[in-house]
Amino acid sequence: MTRPSPDGSRQLGVLGSPIAHSRSPLLHRTAYAALGLTWEYDAYDVPADALDAFVAGLGPEWRGLSLTMPLKETVIPLLDSMDAVARATGAVNTVLVTFSEEGRRLDGFNTDVFGIREALRRAGVESSMHAVVIGGGATARSAVAAVAQLGAEHVDIVLRSPEKAGDVVETARASGLSTSVVALHDRSAVAALEPDLTISTLPGGVGAGETVEGLALTRSSALLDVAYHPWPSELATVWEASGGEAVPGLAMLAHQAIAQIRIFTGGDPLLPLPNEEALTASLLKALALPA
């Protein structure tokens, strides 16, 4: 696909519900200003039952969508294609909107896996053999795909309702990982876990802190908590009190935004941006994170 003209104004946005806390507008506006693009990026409160109508109204001025809860699965039937990562995880957080003589096209991507991996790499976590993923939704599926890319061989899936772990287990096994499923409320089972990496995908990190407080996994592993509002999360507070390292969800957000910007400007999540390292540093700085 061709790169849009730097002089052409385009519309983009982040969709979800609730959405007022989103930092995506800050990140994308920072990036487009640095790239010299006169693009507009706003937040839209769109619940799942309103997504179809919102997408139907997208006109030629639109270039792309970022998607958060609860839309990462809802959008899939509306798409013309998905990239390999989105297909493997069953989760789409990025939609490229293009128009041609044939009409409008919607291509879905998953940049969460890239964001998780890069946030961990920047924090010094280059590899993992045995990971724990807390949660059972779309982001949890992205998390197991990310730990597989880090070389993990096994993942323990910890969630409130073990009977809902099926999709995460399927993604993990498709990624080459062995799995076990542990109930979050089963403190004795959680106490037996000694991973080298833990990723929490619980909204706000709520509900896991009391369970894991003082247990081995808070001392044996780094934590990436994808939550960032509020920060530090309940879980990150417990982790750091135990002497462990907690990587904030804002770091993941910044790195997945870089992959989204690759898609929106060039159509390819694998094609680095010009001066991408400097651009990444500017996004991290906008979030008051170390570059």
Contact by Cβ (8 Å): 246, 236: yes
- Polymer length of the chain: 291
DSSP secondary structure letter of residue 191? H
Helices (H), 35-176: 51-56, 84-89, 112-122, 138-149, 166-174
Q: Edge-to-edge strands of the sheet including 103-109?
A: 40-45, 11-16, 62-67, 94-100, 103-109, 81-82
Contact by Cβ (8 Å): 67, 93: yes
Specify burial of residue 168 (Cβ count, 10 A radius: 0-12, 13-18, 19+): buried
- In the chain the beta strands, taken as DSSP E runs, fall at 11-16, 40-45, 62-67, 81-82, 94-100, 103-109, 130-134, 154-159, 178-183, 197-200, 222-225, 246-248
Taking the C-alpha atoms of residue 261 and residue 57, their distance in angstroms, rounded to an integer, is 22
Catalytic, 72? Answer: yes
Q: Say what the alpha-carbon torsion angle 257, 236, 117, 111 is, to the nearest 10 degrees.
A: -30
Q: Which residues pair with 167 in a beta bridge?
A: none
Taking the C-alpha atoms of residue 122 and residue 104, their distance in angstroms, rounded to an integer, is 37
Taking the C-alpha atoms of residue 253 and residue 243, their distance in angstroms, rounded to an integer, is 24
DSSP secondary structure letter of residue 3? P
Q: Given the residues 23, 28, 72, 130, select the one marked as catalytic.
A: 72
Residues assigned a catalytic role: 72
